[in-house]
Structures are given as C-alpha cells and as structure tokens.
C-alpha cells in the first residue's frame, strides 16, 4: 500500500494509554495511518471494534491491527515483514508503549525472575524493536521514537526526600524505566545524524490495567487520572507540538515541561 500518510506504530495499544493514544490520534487528523499493536491478535481486534463502535464517526485516520509481542524476536520479524510488504518498508513514528509492572518485592524468592521478566518487556523488548525498525524509520523525513517511561524511573526524584512517590518501593519497575530512559538518551544521540527525534515520556499516574484488576480499583481510589489525559498529550508529542520539550534533557511530562532523568 503506497501511502502519503504519516505511519505511526503504537505497541501495547489494545488497552490503557496505548489505546487512548490510538483513539485521540485518529480523531486529531486524517493524515495518519495508525498501527494498533497487540501481543494478542484477538485482543487487538476486539480493541479496534470497541474503538469503532464508541468513536466511529469521529475517527479520521485509518487504524489497522498488528500482532506484536515485543519479547519475541519472531513476532518482531513478522511485524517488520508486514511493514515491508504493506507500507513499502516505511515507518514515521514508533511509540514504544508496551510495559509491565510487577508486584513482587525485591527480596521475594521470585524477585530475580520478576526482574528478568520486567526487563524483557520494558527494556530488552523496546531495544530489540527499535533495532529492527530503525532502518524503516530512516526512510522518513520526520522520524520519531517515543519511549513511554515513568516518573518512577527518575533517579533524581528517587533520591529526593520530598518526592510524592517516596514510599513506593517498586525497585524492579523503577530500574526498568531508568534503563529505558538511558535507551532513549543513547538513541537520541545515535540517531541524531539522520534527524530522528527521540524522547522518553512520563504519562503520569493513570487508571489502567497495568497493575491488574485490583490495582485498577486502587488507582481509582487513589485519584489516578484517566488514561485519555496521557493519550491526548502523546498526540501532541507525535505531532511535534511538544518538540521544545523533546529537545530538553529529561522525560517529556504529561503536565508540561520535563521531569529530570
Ligand atoms: N498507568 C500508569 O499510571 C503509568 C504510569 C507511568 C508509566 N506507565 C507506562 O505506560 C505504558 C502503558 O501502560 P498502561 O498503564 O496503559 O497499562 P496497560 O493498560 O496494562 O497497557 C500495557 C500494554 O502493554 C502490553 N504488553 C505487555 N507486555 C507486552 C509484550 N511483551 N508485548 C507487547 N505488548 C505487551 C499489554 O498487553 P496485554 O493486554 O496483552 O497485557 C497492554 O496492551 C507502560 O509502559 C507503563 O509502564 C503507566
């Protein structure tokens, strides 16, 4: 399919922040082709039909579903082949949103397993995907990679006695997001030569499935914001409205400006 649209691929887009990003991006303009990636094809198709039934007439840009498990080299290779055959090997924006949050405390017996599993998705998966898709992004005049990180990954805030999340341990998750931020910083430097804009993004504390069904309820009780807040701001990052912040050192923050690494 030859297309003059800006091709945007969003990982982990069958729920939460990724799903909201797809919805708001499609509503924002007819000029995108949005690839809603889901590690389960079935969940991805279900998400697309729910988007179409809830927002049908206000959607402007087309959305297609692509199976993509970021921890699987085979799945990444298949996704790349799909982009090669369907979009002539072209990609403009890669939103690395897929992520997991484990509950195990650090000294738990299963902590090492949990550490590895979290890094497999939040860090190694993101690195593998960028590695595979960078040659496609290089064909774009407006290439962009957005890593959905977290304020919990900020080393500066972790050491700040006044930080509002001080009491939350979350060592495994925090470490994975700090590593993701470094990946973003390295790719910003490495890819600057061909004009690719790279940033990490802090979506804030949102009501999503990230910490399971019980966690979702707790998020509501704790006053977490709707995931649509993050989705709307990600549309601004994708469209370039936040480029002044993208160029700064730190995570582009949902509430404006940047958070320190
Ligand atoms: N919610 C928050 O407060 C918050 C705050 C800061 C940062 N974040 C970050 O925001 C991102 C999105 O999370 P969310 O809050 O929207 O939670 P979510 O609703 O659980 O979304 C996470 C998505 O990632 C997908 N995923 C997990 N492992 C994957 C894999 N191996 N390959 C591909 N997709 C995979 C999930 O798929 P399944 O449905 O199949 O599990 C789901 O679609 C994450 O990176 C998270 O760390 C969230």
Task: Convert the pLDDT of each residue in 50-67 to its tens digit.
Answer: 999 999 899 999 999 999
Does 253 fall in a domain? Answer: yes
For residue 159, the CA-to-ligand 1 centroid distance in Å is: 26
216, 209 contact by CB (below 8 A): yes
Does 1 fall in a domain? Answer: no
**Matching residue, tokens 């370039």:** 240
Does 158 fall in a domain? Answer: yes
**Binning pLDDT at 50, 70 and 90, where does residue 105 land?**
low
Does 104 fall in a domain? Answer: yes
Which phi-psi region, left, alpha or beta, contains residue 214 (left: φ > 0; alpha: ψ -120 to 50)? alpha
The one catalytic residue in 80, 147, 177, 197 is 177
Does 113 fall in a domain? Answer: yes
Whether 128 is in the pocket of ligand 1, judged by its Cβ within 6 Å, is no
Please identify, by atom number, the ligand 1 atom nearest to the C-alpha of residue 39. Answer: 33
pLDDT at 26: 98
pLDDT at 201: 98
Q: Is residue 103 annotated as a catalytic residue, yes or no?
A: no
Query: Where residue 242 sits, what CATH number does that domain have?
Result: 3.40.50.720
Does 189 fall in a domain? Answer: yes
Structurally, the chain folds into a number of domains equal to 1
Point out which residues pair with 197 in neighbouring strands: 144
Please identify, by atom number, the ligand 1 atom nearest to the C-alpha of residue 72. Answer: 31
Q: Is residue 147 annotated as a catalytic residue, yes or no?
A: no
Instruction: Report the distance separating Cα 22 and Cα 4, nearest Å.
Output: 19
215, 164 contact by CB (below 8 A): no
Ligand 1 atom 47: the closest Cα is on which residue? 99
Point out which residues pair with 65 in neighbouring strands: 36
Q: What is the CA radius of gyration of the chain?
A: 17
Whether 121 is in the pocket of ligand 1, judged by its Cβ within 6 Å, is yes
Q: What integer is the mean pLDDT of 121-140?
A: 98
pLDDT at 110: 73
Q: What percent of the chain has pLDDT over 70?
A: 97
Does 29 fall in a domain? Answer: yes
The one catalytic residue in 32, 80, 147, 173 is 173
pLDDT tens profile 5-49: 999 999 999 999 999 999 999 999 999 999 999 999 999 999 999
Ligand 1: residue of 24, 210, 225 to mutate (most ligand atoms within 8 A of CB) is 210
Pair of tokens at residue 68: 């993509």
Whether 69 is in the pocket of ligand 1, judged by its Cβ within 6 Å, is yes
Contacts of residue 131, defined as CB under 8 A and 6 or more positions apart, other chains included, come to: none
Structural domain that includes position 124:
6-259
- Residue 246: CB atoms within 10 A of its CB come to 19
pLDDT at 251: 98
Instruction: Report the distance separating Cα 97 and Cα 94, nearest Å.
Output: 9
**Binning pLDDT at 50, 70 and 90, where does residue 104 land?**
low
Does 255 fall in a domain? Answer: yes
């Amino acid at each position: 399919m030859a297309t003059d649209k800006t091709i945007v691929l969003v990982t982990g887009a069958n729920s939460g922040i990724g799903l909201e990003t797809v919805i708001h991006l499609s509503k924002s303009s007819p000029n995108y082709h949005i690839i809603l990636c889901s590690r389960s094809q079935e969940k991805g198709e279900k998400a697309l039909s729910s988007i179409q039934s809830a927002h049908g007439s206000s959607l402007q840009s087309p959305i297609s579903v692509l199976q993509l498990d970021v921890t699987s080299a085979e799945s990444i290779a298949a996704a790349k082949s799909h982009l090669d055959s369907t979009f002539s090997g072209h990609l403009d924006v890669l939103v690395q949103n897929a992520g997991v949050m484990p509950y195990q405390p650090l000294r738990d017996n299963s902590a090492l397993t949990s550490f590895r599993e979290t890094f497999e998705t939040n860090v190694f998966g993101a690195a593998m995907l960028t590695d595979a898709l960078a040659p496609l992004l290089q064909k774009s005049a407006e290439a962009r990679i957005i890593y959905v990180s977290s304020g919990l990954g900020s080393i500066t805030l972790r050491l700040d006695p006044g930080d509002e999340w001080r009491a939350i341990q979350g060592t495994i998750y925090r470490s994975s997001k700090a590593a993701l931020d470094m990946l973003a910083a390295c790719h910003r430097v490495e890819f600057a030569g061909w004009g690719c804009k790279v940033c990490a993004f802090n979506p804030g504390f949102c009501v999503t499935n990230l910490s399971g069904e019980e966690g979702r309820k707790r998020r509501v009780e704790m006053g977490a914001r709707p995931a649509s807040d993050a989705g709307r701001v990600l549309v601004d990052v994708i469209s370039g409205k936040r480029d002044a912040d993208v160029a700064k050192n730190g995570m582009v923050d949902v509430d404006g400006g940047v958070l320190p690494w």
